[in-house]
Structure 1
Amino acid sequence: MSPLTRPGEIAMAVTPPDPSQPSGSRPEVRSAAGVLRGTHEAGVAVFRGIPFAEPPVGALRFGAPRPARSWSGVREAVSYGPPPPQAGLFGMDALSREAPGDDWLTVNVWSPEPTPGAGLPVMVWIQGGAYVFGTSGLPEYDGGRLARDGGVVLVTFNYRVGIEGFGQIEGAPPNRGLLDQVAALEWVRDNIRAFGGDPERVTVFGQSAGGGSVAALLAMDRAAGLFRRAVAQSAQGTYFSPDLASDIAAACAAERGLRPTVTDLSGVPPHELPAAGDALGATMDQRADRWGRPAYRTIPFSPVVDGDILPATPWQALAGGAGRDVDLLIGHTRDEQRLFTAVTGMLGEVSEEQAATALRFLAPGPDGARRYREAFPAAGPDELYELVHSDWLFRMPSLHLAEARSAAGGRSHVYELTWAAPGMGGVFGACHGLDVPLVFGNLDRGQPAALIGEGPSPEAEALSARMRAAWTSFAAHGDPGWPAYDTGRRLVQIFDTDPAVAAYPEEASRLLWQDHPFPVLSVVT
């Protein structure tokens, strides 16, 4: 979901049964829970809104996901399930009002050949949204083109976000959003063969918080064996300690005059609870002396390194050999921060004081601010502000995943998207989220498509085709088409008008961050 979205601009893509497709001609599959009837769309069979877990409400609220019950007869699978409760950022809470319901935990499947035994590669998408918003029913996540052109079975799904999914609540398991993701992957393992997919060739891919989730899944014992390959796009590098997560949850509950317990919070209707997180987010910067970088950047929720569900940070886990049998594709955009700077009205307006504050909070080490200025001597406040934000939250966490895999003797492929988005006057550069329409091929739908511009150019279509081919080739064979990354040559794929394989372009930033361990984020003491 792009921060370009504004309240009132959101529309869930709901596809009613096509009257031109009699029920007898529509695709049907037999899943483990019962028979599903979908639709044919542009040469692909599509099944939407399939429950993979029971609705997490009532007695099941704030609990680990439970497998969905079976049904008799034929279940219509033509509309997306309702979104989980959403934060109010960018008007996302409007989705809960427009598509009410509590059956949040659903999957959607696009298949070019929905017959058992087809043995197609499977790609499972985890959307981003800062761990506080996001739903699979947005038009930018339509999997039809990627499935049809790439010959893959494409799966998207919902998971709980915000306090429902990631709040540290007394009496509830932590990381419920991650547990939802594991449950969705278990559903894929148990059902995808019926849709033409090969459960032994599953690739999980995600962007932003979805990329951070992919990284977390690599570190989780519960996810072991559920996917063969993983793609982390602009992985969000925030992972909380239990003390920080508990402190933030207590402050969030206090916005409603409650304690952060299952007993207290269960009395608040699910779609009303995100407002407490929104209220907290509006004042988080005032608590930076206690919560540090997440407060400065307004990040109230992230996966919690609890020692059980998530035993370590992804970098620690990968360096220790976790996920050693999983092929990795990792990368980021060049100008990650640019979009956020623009939507907050700061593009071209960053003061020297604001740049100094960003360097003080985010740059690595006690002399990080000085080292940034020395590494980029010609950079003004705007560039320094964007560089350190991009590096701390997305670019260096993503690169360090590849570095950690190399430290353990493993293999990964790295890319950087440097193509400048032409839409909206070209001010956004190669910004955060630009990769989403390019990878899905949805260049003219959904909010991120605004970055591409009206009437996608041949240049945009060609770049999208290259990226789709790389992702689907990686899913099928483990090879996206360029050499593996190593700590000698550091070769990466540069995606631009003229793509090239070259040494990692952000060498100055890499050197600044090379010794930073990206530790668990804790309460400042």
Structure 2
Amino acid sequence: MAANDATGPDRSTEGPVVRTAAGAVRGLREHGLAVFRGIPFAAPPVGAARFAAPRPVAAWDGTRDAFAFGPPPPQDLGVPGATGVLDAPEGDDWLTVNVWTPDADPAARRPVMVWIYGGAYKLGHSGSPGYDAYRIALAGDLVVVTLNYRLGMEGFAHIEGAPANRGLLDQVAALEWVRENIAAFGGDPGQVTVFGESAGAGSTASLLAMPRARGLFGRAIVQSLPGTFFSADLAQDIGVALAAEVGLRPTVADLAAVAPRELALAVSGLSTKMPQYVGRWGQAAPTVTPYSPVVDGDVLPVTPWEAVTSGAARDIDLLVGHTRDEFRLFMVMGGMLGRITDEQASGALRLFAPGGEAGERAYRAAYPGADAGELFERVQTDWLFTVPSLRLAEAQVAAGGRAHFYELTWSAPGNGGVLGPCHGLDIPLLFGTYQADLGALLFMGAEVTPEVEVLSGRFREAWTAFARTGDPGWAPYDEKSRPTQLFDETPTVESYPQQRSAHLWKDQPFKPLPLLS
């Protein structure tokens, strides 16, 4: 098999070899790229290192084969009967990176893109087929890095005796690995773009606010930013409830007695119980994920919106956006489409809209033709994703920085088209992985037409151009004209389309979610 044979990898001893700070790694030749998988950037976070900040990886002798993705971190699937086991290698070496590069030549100095996956801060794995990054690397002639980080109990639960936001600290450690090692893979450590979707977008936005992350990247792409950031009091209370699922206290000493994957499985049932805590946990309860970044005053001193407003990201180029019908995915997956009563709509409007009952009246007035299901979906789309995303761009511009904004308005073709431009649709379009992971649902039963391929190419072209130059191909956002790139079969740049919702939220700050009682 030839080294550049795109039909399969070359696992011969002639594969590309790169020396990292910890030791040499041998990769594969795939699609004309050099690909390295499963390179550890920190020590396995088990034993004495469990629930601690990431620790340096031990050096190794000889050349390590970097052919396979590392094991996924323990997953809190939150589904009754779920095993918590993915179709991936087993083991404790979760903290690994993967690299796709056109040429592992230190003289190349190509731009670098670092992908952070989403999954409600409790799911995800950089080795998922939907994140196969070779098309992005080829489209932009740049280096792409994907990484694992701790999730759920291991990465985000409030645990006494452990630092908060351990998953975010893992991401910082991975970015430090990029700074120290990526030049050997042909990348430029001074030209790094971090990009992520959903919880990956929340992570990327958190990095903008984290002193530990400053100087590690110069551009950021935030795709569907969740507005859910926990106060320390709320995180502590949820931590008590999580530990109670296994009859323990939320302390390092207690929880260390339960193996990580067993713990993830044992606490997963709390997700389905969360709605009953609405009187105590408020807006966090219906999200059915007990994990989010915690504004602890140390690792994450303030929310991303507060940090960006203060100018913390003024020198970072920012690309932000969302899909038009974000919450539709959860409506369909939860069997709620077409089944929402007016009472349920009122409950959602009073819980999520600014001003409670006044917020409900304002939404009903702003959307007079909307039925109960449309109002239920609209307010949760706005609260959870669209307004937080818009606010981040507005904060950046107000602080004197530059931001570009987009909205995906093209509808997912699968399942008879009921999903619309829903949450997560940008992932298979960006990566070109239409039948993998979430893409399998969004494109189920649908043909991948030439028009789809063109739209997918537009995503990659815009993202890689931004990584190279800070300009994705349309005008920066400003408060007067609000230019927004609409990704559809026919792309256009228009003033932000969701002005009705934006107006309803214009005076509402995004603060850490509080503990109510």
> What amino acid does structure 1 have at the position aligned with 2:33?
V
> What amino acid does structure 1 have at the position aligned with 2:352?
L
Change (3 A) 1:390 1:92: farther
502, 510, 515: which one aligns with 1:518: 510
**Partners in 2 of 1:332 and 1:345 — Cα distance?**
23
**Partners in 2 of 1:293 and 1:77 — Cα distance?**
43
> What amino acid does structure 2 have at the position aligned with 1:373?
R
187, 194, 215: which one aligns with 2:184: 194
The one-character-per-residue Cα deviations of 1:116-152 (angstroms, maximum 9, x if unpaired) are 1101110000000001111101000011111112211
Equivalent residue runs for 1:301-320 within 5 Å: 301-320=291-310
Equivalent residue runs for 1:144-183 within 5 Å: 144-183=134-173
Divergent runs of 4+, >6 A: none
- SS at 1:442 equivalent: coil
**Partners in 2 of 1:28 and 1:288 — Cα distance?**
54
> What amino acid does structure 2 have at the position aligned with 1:371?
A
Cα contact 2:204–2:220 (8 A) shared by 1: yes
- Quote how far apart the aligned CAs of 1:97 are: 7.5
> Aligned residues: percent identity?
58
> What amino acid does structure 2 have at the position aligned with 1:507?
Q
**Partners in 2 of 1:184 and 1:301 — Cα distance?**
21
- SS at 1:347 equivalent: coil
Does the alignment pair 1:482 with 2:474?
yes
Aligned to 2:68: 79
- Quote how far apart the aligned CAs of 1:521 are: 0.6
> What amino acid does structure 2 have at the position aligned with 1:341?
M
> What amino acid does structure 2 have at the position aligned with 1:461?
E
- SS at 1:103 equivalent: coil
Change (3 A) 1:92 1:489: farther
- SS at 1:292 equivalent: helix
- SS at 1:201 equivalent: strand
Does the alignment pair 1:224 with 2:242?
no
Equivalent residue runs for 1:371-410 within 5 Å: 371-410=362-401
Cα contact 2:313–2:401 (8 A) shared by 1: no
**Partners in 1 of 2:82 and 2:484 — Cα distance?**
35
> What amino acid does structure 1 have at the position aligned with 2:383?
W
**Partners in 1 of 2:241 and 2:157 — Cα distance?**
11
**Partners in 2 of 1:409 and 1:31 — Cα distance?**
38
Query: TM-score scaled to structure 2, two decimals?
Result: 0.96
Moved more, 515-524 or 98-107: 98-107
> What amino acid does structure 1 have at the position aligned with 2:391?
H
Does the alignment pair 1:95 with 2:85?
yes
- Quote how far apart the aligned CAs of 1:365 are: 1.8
**Partners in 1 of 2:343 and 2:11 — Cα distance?**
65
Query: TM-score scaled to structure 1, two decimals?
Result: 0.94
Equivalent residue runs for 1:307-456 within 5 Å: 307-366=297-356, 367-453=358-444, 454-456=446-448
> What amino acid does structure 2 have at the position aligned with 1:27?
P
Equivalent residue runs for 1:141-290 within 5 Å: 141-290=131-280
In the alignment of these two chains, the number of paired residues is: 508
**Partners in 2 of 1:262 and 1:455 — Cα distance?**
50
**Partners in 2 of 1:377 and 1:236 — Cα distance?**
27
> What amino acid does structure 2 have at the position aligned with 1:107?
V
Cα contact 1:252–1:276 (8 A) shared by 2: no
**Partners in 1 of 2:9 and 2:266 — Cα distance?**
46
Aligned to 1:29: 18
**Partners in 1 of 2:9 and 2:25 — Cα distance?**
19
Does the alignment pair 1:50 with 2:39?
yes
Unaligned ranges ≥5, structure 2: 1-6
- Quote how far apart the aligned CAs of 1:450 are: 3.6
Aligned to 1:13: none
Does the alignment pair 1:504 with 2:493?
no
Cα contact 2:10–2:30 (8 A) shared by 1: no
Cα contact 1:54–1:69 (8 A) shared by 2: yes
**Partners in 1 of 2:256 and 2:441 — Cα distance?**
39
**Partners in 2 of 1:131 and 1:232 — Cα distance?**
15
Change (3 A) 1:78 1:177: same
After superposition, the CA RMSD in angstroms is 1.5
Aligned to 1:458: 450
Aligned to 2:487: 495
Cα contact 2:84–2:265 (8 A) shared by 1: no
Cα contact 2:84–2:264 (8 A) shared by 1: no
Change (3 A) 1:152 1:320: same
- SS at 1:99 equivalent: coil
Equivalent residue runs for 1:125-140 within 5 Å: 125-140=115-130
Cα contact 1:420–1:429 (8 A) shared by 2: yes
**Partners in 1 of 2:157 and 2:268 — Cα distance?**
13
Cα contact 1:85–1:96 (8 A) shared by 2: no
117, 121, 129: which one aligns with 2:111: 121
Unaligned ranges ≥5, structure 1: 1-17
**Partners in 2 of 1:278 and 1:482 — Cα distance?**
43
> What amino acid does structure 2 have at the position aligned with 1:520?
P
The one-character-per-residue Cα deviations of 1:237-272 (angstroms, maximum 9, x if unpaired) are 111111100000011101111000000000011001
Cα contact 1:110–1:153 (8 A) shared by 2: yes
**Partners in 1 of 2:329 and 2:52 — Cα distance?**
35
